[in-house]
Structure 1
Amino acid sequence: MTLTPKQQEIKDRYIAARGSWGAPWDTVLAVDPDFVAAYLDMYQVPWTKNELSDKFKELCYLAWNAAATHLHEPGIRAHMRRAIEFGATPAEIVEVLELAATLGIHTMNIGVPLLVEVLEERGRTGPAPLDARREELKAEFTRVRGYWHDFWNEMLELDPEMFGAYTEFSSVPWRTGALTPAEKELIYISYDIAATHLYVPGTKLHIRNALNHGATVGQILEVMEISSVLGIHAVTVGVPIMVEELSAAGKEVPR
């Protein structure tokens, strides 16, 4: 592909900023170079403000790429590689993945209140007072995780077995982890606020917790900026499919 001066300048800027260049961008650069430039400018916002370290920014990208609501393997690999280049340790990377693995509990966070609503339609009154075992579970969660939120009440009441298992599961990185409490909360925010999840109660909770642990407003905004580029996978996944289909149809592929 012979690039125009404008296309070459955009590609050079992209590689200088991102450290790599993927095949889909050759096609996009041929069809719509202005889009590549605009995307790069948006992507670079948190990299010019630098409220977070380069390593931690890459760990945030890794978190929402690896989260169950996205599971974008090329992004997982690319941002894990960059995090390692910036000095991330195996312990830090594994902890980010452990934190992302807690996303599944939102099934209970959303489902149990819906169950309670239906039970109330059928005459349920309550909640029932907590027995000694449930009080112990609540105290343990509050001690290890450093907070309590009312959306745990109904799960604790109706399913203490699952609540106890989740308390242990989610508490491991809080006992042995390599990230600070504020960093853990920022990781939670990165995938709760991502377009593939948009879990409002969790986002608000973890914003509050992050601030309580010393995170700044600028850091929280930077995490949101990082998560805001998730939509680009419409292009990076879709364009290679377009190239395949054009080739299969005997049509010219932009180069």
Structure 2
Amino acid sequence: MSSDEQKSQLREQFTAQLGSKAFHSGWESLLKLNPTFFSASLGLASVPRQKSHLSRKNQALISLAVDSAATHLYTPGIHAHVAAARDEGASRDEILEIIELSSTLGIHACNIGVPLLVEVLREEGGYEEEITAPFNETQERLKDEFTKKRGYWHTFWEDFLRLDPEFFGAYLEFSGVPWSKDVGGNGEDNRGALEPKMKELVYCAFDCAATHLYVPGLKLHMKNALGYGATPQEIVEVLEIATLLSLHTVHVALPIIDELTTEPSK
């Protein structure tokens, strides 16, 4: 088989397994410069599609969460996964909700930083009142509201709420939008566009991604997802999809290599 025939066959395999709209410039350069690695990469990307513990629509939405997270922001992937989600029947509200959920990643600055600050304050001494004071009425109300909106409470929120209830309250409103907005006009019976299980899987997706690896959040959201009915296989599939961001190394690098190493035509 000639090189051109091999590449044509691989392109056909890609379309059959991932769809033509997923074939962006990164894949094109990979196929052109390194068809062997293209084939291996396609094989890796195709495993979740073959097993499909998650629906094709939800696979696209999970992929969108990984690529749109603040720690990654991979534009070609965002474009491809929005297109794929739409093709699989996702509504605009569902796609927008992925972005809302993924936008909460930044709060991990506080989830990690505040407990460390409290640890330092204990070591330094003289700050017992700030770090041990019981919640006042406002703080208790915010804790109750968070638990009601998000369906859980975790001890890593305690120090954050104690030290800065104003910012905690603002974050509660920000993060609570996907859990409380009325999308379908059914009020309390229709909170957000995605079911709670899917919301929790989205949190798992960007927490497990190699660009973030936020272990406390990942464990918490795995537990929450199981509580909402997720299967272990669905969670593993989220991990597999998040693993695919490693392919973006070649997707970004190979177009540059192609540009800078191709001999100019005479």
TM-score, normalization by structure 1: 0.93
Q: Please name the residue that 1:53 is paired with.
A: 55
CA distance in 1, matches of 2:206, 2:27: 25
Q: Does 1:138 align with 2:143?
A: yes
Q: Please name the residue that 1:88 is paired with.
A: 90
Q: Aligned to 2:170, which of 146, 151, 165?
A: 165
Q: Please name the residue that 2:70 is paired with.
A: 68
Q: Aligned to 1:229, which of 234, 244, 250?
A: 244
Q: Please name the residue that 1:182 is paired with.
A: 197
Note the C-alpha offset of 1:31: 3.6
Q: Please name the residue that 2:256 is paired with.
A: 241
Gaps of 5+ in 2: 182-191
Q: Please name the residue that 1:193 is paired with.
A: 208
State the one-letter code of the partner of 1:169.
F
1:53-110 CA-to-partner distances (Å, cap 9, x unmatched) read 1011000011111111111111111110111111110110111100011111111111
Q: Please name the residue that 2:187 is paired with.
A: none
Note the C-alpha offset of 1:32: 2.7
Greater shift in the superposed pair: 199-208 or 27-36: 27-36
1:13-55 CA-to-partner distances (Å, cap 9, x unmatched) read 0122122233443443344322111111111111111111101
Cα pair 2:33 2:258 within 8 Å, conserved: no
> How many residue pairs were aligned?
249
Q: Please name the residue that 1:220 is paired with.
A: 235
Q: Does 1:101 align with 2:103?
A: yes
CA distance in 1, matches of 2:54, 2:145: 31
Note the C-alpha offset of 1:252: 6.6
Note the C-alpha offset of 1:120: 1.2
CA distance in 1, matches of 2:108, 2:70: 11
Residue 56 and residue 30 in structure 1: after superposition, are their counterparts in 2 closer, same or farther (change >3 A)? same
Q: Please name the residue that 2:186 is paired with.
A: none
Note the C-alpha offset of 1:4: 4.1
Note the C-alpha offset of 1:196: 0.6
State the one-letter code of the partner of 2:52.
N
CA distance in 1, matches of 2:172, 2:29: 47
Gaps of 5+ in 1: none
1:104-130 CA-to-partner distances (Å, cap 9, x unmatched) read 111111111121122112113342211
1:201-222 CA-to-partner distances (Å, cap 9, x unmatched) read 1100100000011111111111
CA distance in 1, matches of 2:12, 2:87: 20
Q: Does 1:43 align with 2:48?
A: no
Q: Please name the residue that 1:16 is paired with.
A: 16
Cα RMSD (Å) of the superposition?
1.6
Residue 100 and residue 81 in structure 1: after superposition, are their counterparts in 2 closer, same or farther (change >3 A)? same
Aligned residues with identical type, % of pairs: 49
CA distance in 1, matches of 2:76, 2:143: 39
State the one-letter code of the partner of 2:226.
L
Cα pair 2:72 2:211 within 8 Å, conserved: yes
Residue 9 and residue 144 in structure 1: after superposition, are their counterparts in 2 closer, same or farther (change >3 A)? same
State the one-letter code of the partner of 1:16.
A
TM-score, normalization by structure 2: 0.89
Note the C-alpha offset of 1:244: 2.2
Cα pair 2:24 2:76 within 8 Å, conserved: no
Greater shift in the superposed pair: 167-176 or 90-99: 167-176
